[in-house]
Amino acid sequence: MTEHLTKETFQKKVFNYETNKEWKFEGDKPALIDFYADWCGPCKMVAPILEELSEEYKDQINIYKVNTEQEQELAAAFGIRSIPSLLFIPLDDKPQMAMGALPKQQLEQAFSEVLKVAKKVA
């Protein structure tokens, strides 16, 4: 299940950009953050794929969503200029941003290469 973040929950679960100058991930497992808006067509195409992946990787990766219309300060803090923008956050490395609606296969590849998470075989 994807989880919607506000500025407050983002600072607790991901990164408190107001107190930390350097990147310091607050999570306990790798994460993907989808910066989106309700009116965005490509965002709507990615949403069901992210829901599917959040089930398939539920114990390995947290998948969050940030509505850029409601959380404009948060979007600005990360320099979000186009949506969807996907922020991949490995546990012990710098986050990486990807722009655009990525297909499921490409997202899984990023989970493996960037987040270092292999899909569990059922």
Choose, from 43, 61, 75, 115, the residue flagged as catalytic: 43
Active-site residue 96, yes or no? no
- Structure tokens, 17: 């950009």
Q: What residues contact residue 59 under an 8 Å CB cut-off, 6+ apart?
A: 120
Strand-pairing partners, residue 30, are: none
- Structure tokens, 51: 């829901």
Choose, from 40, 50, 86, 87, the residue flagged as catalytic: 40
- Structure tokens, 104: 């499921």
Strand-pairing partners, residue 97, are: 87
Active-site residue 43, yes or no? yes
Catalytic sites, residue numbers: 40, 43
